Structures are given as C-alpha cells and as structure tokens.
Amino acid sequence: MDLDFDRNHIWHPYSSLIDPPPVYPIERAEGVRIYLEDGRGLIDGMSSWWSALHGYKVPELNRALSEQMEKMSHVMFGGLTHEPAITLCKKLVEITPHTLTRVFLADSGSVSVEVAIKMALQYWQSQGRSGKNRLLALRNGYHGDTFGAMATCDPVTGMHHLFASQLTPHFFAPAPQPKFSEPCGDEDIAELRQLIEKNHNQLAAVILEPVVQGAGGMRFYSPEYLQRVRQLCDQYDLLLIADEIATGFGRSGKLFACEHADISPDILTLGKALTGGTMTLAATLCTDRVAEGICRGEAGVFMHGPTFMGNPLACAVANASIELLLSGPWQQRVAAIQTQLDRQLAPLRDAAGVADVRTLGAIGVVEMDQPVDMRQVQEALIERGVWLRPFGRLVYAMPPYVISEVDLGRLAGAMVEVLGR
C-alpha cells in the first residue's frame, strides 16, 4: 500500500497532514480480528467504534448484502419505497422504547442528530412556540461533528471556541455525578433543574446520551438521574432526545440504555451498530405527538431528505444484523464480557498512574491520571496482538460480542501489561 500517499494526501479522523500519526495498513478482517498487510492479526477491541457487534466477514450479513445487491443497491426514497426499509422501520418501532413509532432513516450518526434537533425545533414552531429553540445538553456529552450536533457537544472537548461564532449557544448542565450503581439525590440534579426552571420558555429539548457518555469521557451514570430528567422534561414541557448511537443494540447490557431507567424519550437517535458495522446508516425515531405536531405546522412536512436516505443495501444488512443479534444469546455474552473485564482489569485499580477502572455491559474503561502517549500505547498493544485506540486519559475496550473467552483474555491481559507498567 502506498502509505506515503496516505500520509500526505488523505485525512483520517481528527488527523494532521503536517505531522500525521502512524496509520496501520489493514488488508482484511474476519471474526474478531483485523489483519495487517504483513499478515499479523489484531484482536479488535474497538468493534470499529462501537459498530461491529458480530465481528467481521459475517456470513449472514454478507449474504444479506449480496442478495439485496442482486435486486437493487439503491433507489431514491422520494416517492418510492422498498421492502428492506419497511422491514427495518417496523423492527425498530417494535424493539425501541414503546412510545417511539415514527422513523426517519439518515446516513450517519451526526446527521441523525441534526434530524433530531430539527424535529424538536419544527415541533415547537408548529405549536406556535418558536421561542423554544435552544437545547439543554450535558457536559462531557458527545453528539457528532456537524454544526448542529457539535453545538451540543461538551464546550471544551467539543472545541466550541474554534467555531464559536457559528455555533448556536445552548445550555449545559454539569456531567451527571452519581455513578451507575448509585442513587440520584436532589442535589445531583439541582443545577440541571435550575437551568430548566429558569429557561424552559427558551428550551425545545434536553439532549443526552442515556447512562453511558461515550466519546466525551466514557462515563457511566445513574439510571435514576435519567428518570429525573424525564420527569423534569414532562413537568416543564421539554422534549427529551436520547442519543443511543453508541449505546444502542445491547452495548450497555440492555438492548437500549434507556431501558436501565425504564423511560421512553420523545426522540431517539441510532447509528453505529445499526448495520453490524458493515455500512453507514442511522435512524431518528420519534413519537406520534412529535410527528403529528411537525406535520400540522406551517411547513406541513418535515424538512429533511438526504439523497441516500433509506439505502436498500444498508437497510437489508441492518435487518440481518438485528435478526442475528436478537436470535442469539447476546445478553449472556455481554454479561460474560463485563464479568471477565471486571475480573481481569481489577489489578489495574491499584496500579500507579491509574485513576479509575470501570465496566458496564461490553465496555471496559481504564482512566489514567495523565493523558497517554497514544503512539506508544498503541504500538505496545499491537506487539501483543491487540487493537485499541486510546484518547486523552482513557484506554477502553468494547469488543465484538462474539469474542471468545481466550481472545478477551488476551485483550484484557495486554491492557494490564501495557498500562500497569
């Protein structure tokens, strides 16, 4: 592979083209392993950023793709429809929290967040309350890289200052403090409550990642906190947008993280694992109330419609992925991953330089005192046959659910060796 060309001409996520970090050439992937050009296999501890739940080269998914390809790879969704989209949307309505009944298919996670925000704004406009046009988001939150989504990310890690003049100034509550297993007291929700009490006339919605804050800090928080937010949204007439792009499809131990709190949002975003890591596809679901509100408004329609909306290949492989997930023992697998990560990462709790070790579902996080040297840590892990991508002070694993006990042992063992030094 022409790595020189790559280094000088191709942007990678959050990369420099002056001082590019190393990129490793991958030739193929199978099971839980990605294979370097030189033939070495690396256990993928990232599931290609939360998405490859079933690992790689999955026969069921490949079959769905090739069968759909024989019929049609794509057709416009304006004025036309097809079976893969109908089957998928039916399935999503069935498995997501019960009040969500209407589905918008989008191309990527960030776009599904844009769609969610537009839904909330158009809903209040159609109610004659266009002053409700701000959002309340959480510190340490992450919702994507496009402008609307970026404006709801943590102001510091989301680098708001770089784009300050172009970003809608939203409201931010402190990151939830009570941990996953802790109750949420009045004081834990006090600042968020005050922000809502003071600004509800300007607020269209609260947007948050339920229970697991992902890219903004890999933090797990109390489901009771989420229940309290739901209550406040009801009390002050705000919509609740749950961003389950990372947590959806079982990663946190429940099919959707909202289930930990037994709540249903008004708007839900899904992405990442939706197609089992094969193609880009996302979805925004909403309630009857939101959909009908929007369509009774001035515009009479919801104002969004991407070119590749409802791509049949992506829908077909999403259907196959969901079927494969739900027909297997995913809960046991995710629970077993948590138990094993808990046990194997435990020695790091007392290691020098380690601030915290936490697990939830099929996610294991080691938080260091200081930012880690990504190149050095990555190289040391690769030497041990493991692929992880640390950021800041965090080194974390979220492997495909199909990982064997032996491979998970290698993955966690490599983390302990490299971080425990």
Q: Which residues are catalytic?
A: 14, 142, 243, 272
Q: Is 420 annotated as a binding residue?
A: no
Closest CA to 212 of 173, 239, 245: 245
Nearer to ligand PLP, 61 or 246 (CB): 246
Taking the C-alpha atoms of residue 352 and residue 292, their distance in angstroms, rounded to an integer, is 56
Rule CB under 6 A: choose which of 42, 245, 274, 281 binds ligand PLP.
Answer: 245
Q: Is 219 annotated as a binding residue?
A: no
CB of 420 to ligand PLP, least distance (A): 28
Site map (CB under 6 A) of ligand PLP, residues 262-281, x = contact: ---------xx---------
Taking the C-alpha atoms of residue 393 and residue 180, their distance in angstroms, rounded to an integer, is 20
Taking the C-alpha atoms of residue 252 and residue 270, their distance in angstroms, rounded to an integer, is 14
Binders of ligand PLP among 87-126, rule CB under 6 A?
A: 108-110, 113
Closest CA to 319 of 139, 89, 149, 147: 89
Q: Is 109 annotated as a binding residue?
A: yes
Tokens of 248: 């959806």
Is residue 400 part of the contact set for ligand PLP (CB under 6 A)? no
Q: Which residue has the tokens 């941990």?
A: 179
Is residue 223 part of the contact set for ligand PLP (CB under 6 A)? no
Is residue 291 part of the contact set for ligand PLP (CB under 6 A)? no
Site map (CB under 6 A) of ligand PLP, residues 345-384, x = contact: ----------------------------------------
Query: How would DSSP label each residue in 13-66?
Result: TT--SSSPPP---EEEEEBTEEEETTS-EEEESSHHHHT-TT-BS-HHHHHHHH
Tokens of 76: 């416009």
CB of 272 to ligand PLP, least distance (A): 6
Alpha helices for 200-329 (secondary structure H): 223-235, 258-261, 288-295, 312-326
Nearer to ligand PLP, 160 or 193 (CB): 160
Q: Is 264 annotated as a binding residue?
A: no
Nearer to ligand PLP, 213 or 319 (CB): 213
Would you give the distance in Å from CA 85 to the centre of its chain?
A: 21
Q: Is 243 annotated as a binding residue?
A: yes
CB of 144 to ligand PLP, least distance (A): 4
Q: Is 330 annotated as a binding residue?
A: no
CB of 112 to ligand PLP, least distance (A): 8
Residue 358 amino acid letter: R
Residues that bind ligand PLP (CB under 6 A): 108-110, 113, 142-144, 209, 214-215, 243, 245-246, 271-272
